[in-house]
Structure 1
Amino acid sequence: MRIIKLAGLLPALCLISSQAMAEGFYAGAKAGWMDPDIRGFDEATNLGVQGGYTFGAPDTGITWAVEAELTTTISDGDVQAFGSSGNWDVDTQAIYGVLRIGDALYGKLRLGFLHEDASASVVGASADGSDSGVSGGLGGGWRANQQLSFELEYTMVEEDIDFYSVGMNFAF
């Protein structure tokens, strides 16, 4: 359901005036918080790397990319369960198709496949799990020059975990 809502925002992204990265490879890093919509769970902080290849016609203000992303928890989130405290973390691996619309300022929409590994521990008891499925996100960016860009993004990891991040990409 959230993917449908994200896709519905595409027309709004078209209104942003700008040119995304020129054709070629790029790599970057991002940091942000995983926001679980699960009772008793607080945010965890994740750090990630991403890389991709942009293609399309940047002079039209529309580019496409294939982007891979890996994130890992660098600061565990807190868990409150059964009157005790503990912690949780999540690692993700994803591949996305990405649409960027704009120039120096641009909108970004992505849709793809994500795998996550999560674990939680409370008073010596722990649980691990993994899941895979469709993931999507949207955001915006600023291209400082031909090589360097900065992005703010929202990504739906799964129905009850959202990832809000800020990142930097270098095109080469």
Structure 2
Amino acid sequence: MNKLFFVSALAICASANAAVAEGFYAGATLGSVELDVDDVEVQSTNLNALIGFEVNQTFAVESEFSFAVVEDEIDVDGGTVDASTNYAGIFAKASFPLSSEFSAHARLGFVNVTFEADGDGGSASADDSGVAIGAGAQYAVSPTIAIRGDATFADIDGVDLTTLTIGTVFSF
């Protein structure tokens, strides 16, 4: 009787944990982040982390954090400045399944963008927030692993942000 109770309790706990985790996903992507301000263009290579919750097959909420791993060198008044762009955002994502493995998606969200520059004359940084839109696709290589590509765009007070990323997403 005790063995039956113990096995039943384990089965209930295991199914409860699976139900709690169902719908969550996390991923890592690598990509290009381009920031255009007037006639100055800054391009950095960024590592992105994303976490999300899939409410159903067509709607999810996700957050994304992007950190520069390779900075851009910009010529300014005869000198060079190392510049990078980082951002954090939260998005509503609408997915459109095209087959059992392949889906397209669109994103609408809010991002906070930080620009940093370091040169011989010192350093400077600026940040601003605004609305971002994006589109992408995802291919499931297994029930829990997918390859994902995204393009995200924002125009914040005349500053254009463009990101192109590719990476892996893990579903729980």
Equivalent residue runs for 1:1-172 within 5 Å: 24-38=23-37, 39-56=39-56, 58=57, 63-102=58-97, 103-158=100-155, 159-172=159-172
Q: Following TM superposition, where does structure 1 have runs of at least 4 consecutive aligned residues deviating by more than 6 angstroms?
A: none
Preserved CA contact (<8 Å) 1:67 1:97? yes
Where structure 2 has 5 or more consecutive residues not aligned to the other structure, the ranges are 1-21
Q: CA deviation at 1:83?
A: 2.2
Which residue identity lines up with residue 37 of structure 1 in the other structure?
D
Preserved CA contact (<8 Å) 1:40 1:80? no
The two structures have a TM-score, normalised by structure 1, of 0.78
Aligned to 1:111, what secondary structure does the other structure show?
A: strand
Which residue identity lines up with residue 103 of structure 2 in the other structure?
Y
**Percent identity over the alignment?**
27
Q: CA deviation at 1:85?
A: 1.3
Q: CA deviation at 1:42?
A: 4.3
Q: Which structure carries more relative contact order (alpha carbon 8 Å, separation 6+)? A: 1
Q: CA deviation at 1:75?
A: 0.7
Aligned to 1:100, what secondary structure does the other structure show?
A: strand
Q: CA deviation at 1:114?
A: 0.5
Q: Deviations over 1:27-48 (max 9, x none)?
A: 0101101123343434211001
Preserved CA contact (<8 Å) 1:41 1:78? no
Which residue identity lines up with residue 123 of structure 2 in the other structure?
S
Structure 1, 44-53 or 148-157: larger mean CA deviation: 148-157
CA distance in 2 between partners of 1:79 and 1:41 (Å): 8
> What is the RMSD computed on CA atoms of the aligned residues?
1.6
Preserved CA contact (<8 Å) 2:35 2:85? no
Preserved CA contact (<8 Å) 1:44 1:78? no
Q: CA deviation at 1:151?
A: 0.9
The two structures have a TM-score, normalised by structure 2, of 0.78
Structure showing greater radius of gyration is: 2
Where structure 1 has 5 or more consecutive residues not aligned to the other structure, the ranges are 1-22
Aligned positions, number: 145
